Amino acid sequence: MSSSTTSEKGSESGQATFRFRCIGCGSITPSAAQDFRCSQCGNLLEITDSSWNSHNPTALKSLWRERRTLNETLDLSGVWRFRELLPAPASEEHVVTLREGNTPLYELPQSSRLTGVPRLFAKHQGMNPTGSFKDAGMTVAATFARQAGYQWVACASTGNTSASMAAYAARGGMRSLVLVPEGKISWSKLSQALDYGALTCQLRTDFDGCLRLLQELVRHAPVYQLNSINPFRLEGQKTLAFELLEQLEWQAPDHIIVPGGNLGNSSAIGKALIEMLDLGLISNLPKLSVIQAEGANALVRTLREAGGKNLVSVQAETRATAIRIGNPASWEKAVKVLQATGGACEQVSELEIAQAKAEIGMEGIGCEPASAVTLAGLKKLLRRGFVKPEETVVLVLTGNLLKDPDFTMEFHRGDLFRGTPDERESARLNPFRHPPVVLDATLDAVIKTLEQAEKSNPTPSNA
Which residues here bind ligand F0G, judged by CB under 6 A? 132, 157-161, 228, 259-266, 322-323, 368, 370-371, 398-399
Nearest distance, CB of residue 379 and ligand F0G, angstroms: 18
| Closest to ligand F0G by CB, 120 or 299 | 299
| Closest to ligand F0G by CB, 89 or 236 | 236
Q: What is the 3-state secondary structure (H, E, C) of the chain?
A: CCCEEECCCCCCCCCCCEEEEECCCCCEECEEECCCECCCCCCEEEEEEHHHHHCCHHHHHHHHHHHCCCCCHHHHCCCHHHHHHCCCCCCHHHCCCCCCCCCCEEECHHHHHHHCCCCEEEEEHHHCCCCECHHHHHHHHHHHHHHCCCCEEEEECCCHHHHHHHHHHHHHCCEEEEEEECCCCCHHHHHHHHHCCCEEEEECCCHHHHHHHHHHHHHHCCEEECCCCCHHHHHHHCHHHHHHHHHCCCCCCCEEEEECCCCHHHHHHHHHHHHHHHHCCCCCCCEEEEEEEHHHCHHHHHHHHHCCCCCCCCCCCCCCHHHCCCCCCCHHHHHHHHHHHCCCEEEECHHHHHHHHHHHHCCCCCCCHHHHHHHHHHHHHHHCCCCCCCCCEEEEECECHHHCHHHHHHHHHCCCCCCCCCCCHHHHHHHHCCCCCCCCCCHHHHHHHHHHHHHHCCCCCCC
| Closest to ligand F0G by CB, 81 or 324 | 324
| Closest to ligand F0G by CB, 264 or 295 | 264
| Closest to ligand F0G by CB, 143 or 188 | 188
Nearest distance, CB of residue 422 and ligand F0G, angstroms: 21
Nearest distance, CB of residue 70 and ligand F0G, angstroms: 30
Nearest distance, CB of residue 270 and ligand F0G, angstroms: 11
| Closest to ligand F0G by CB, 87 or 126 | 126
Nearest distance, CB of residue 152 and ligand F0G, angstroms: 18
| Closest to ligand F0G by CB, 248 or 320 | 320
Nearest distance, CB of residue 353 and ligand F0G, angstroms: 12
Nearest distance, CB of residue 104 and ligand F0G, angstroms: 17
